[in-house]
Amino acid sequence: MSNQRKNPRIEVPMPVTLTHPERGSMNLITADICDGGVFLKAEEAQCLPVGSRVTLQVKAGLLAGDDPPLVDAEVVRTSADGMGLKFL
């Protein structure tokens, strides 16, 4: 099986808020991240359908007093332990 990823992934757990227009907000943890996307740990019931568009925000500011940026993303795969999103 070949690895078709364009960008290397870094395993780093970070708390994020995922917001979906119909399902609202969920607080999740990243499993890994790269330039092109992120894998979020989630229970199967929390996973959104492939193609869903969401907004992500890291829950802790990078510098004191700064609000982390909002990042648009799309669900590209789901599994029993979470979902993979690509950044838009």
Question: Is the distance from CB of 31 to CB of 13 less than 8 angstroms?
Answer: yes
Helix, strand, coil % in the chain, rounded to nearest 5: 5, 50, 45
CA distance 15 to 27: 7
**Is pLDDT of 7 > 80?**
no
Summarize pLDDT for 40-85 with one digit per residue, the tens. 999 999 999 999 999 999 886 555 667 788 999 999 999 999 999 9
**pTM for this entry:** 0.85
How many domains are there within the chain?
A: 1
- The enclosing domain of 63 has a CATH number of 2.40.10.220
Rounded CA-CA distance 26/39 in Å is 14
Residue 1 resides in a domain: no
User: Does some domain include residue 4?
Assistant: no
Residue 54, in any domain of the structure: yes
- Domain range for 59 is 10-87
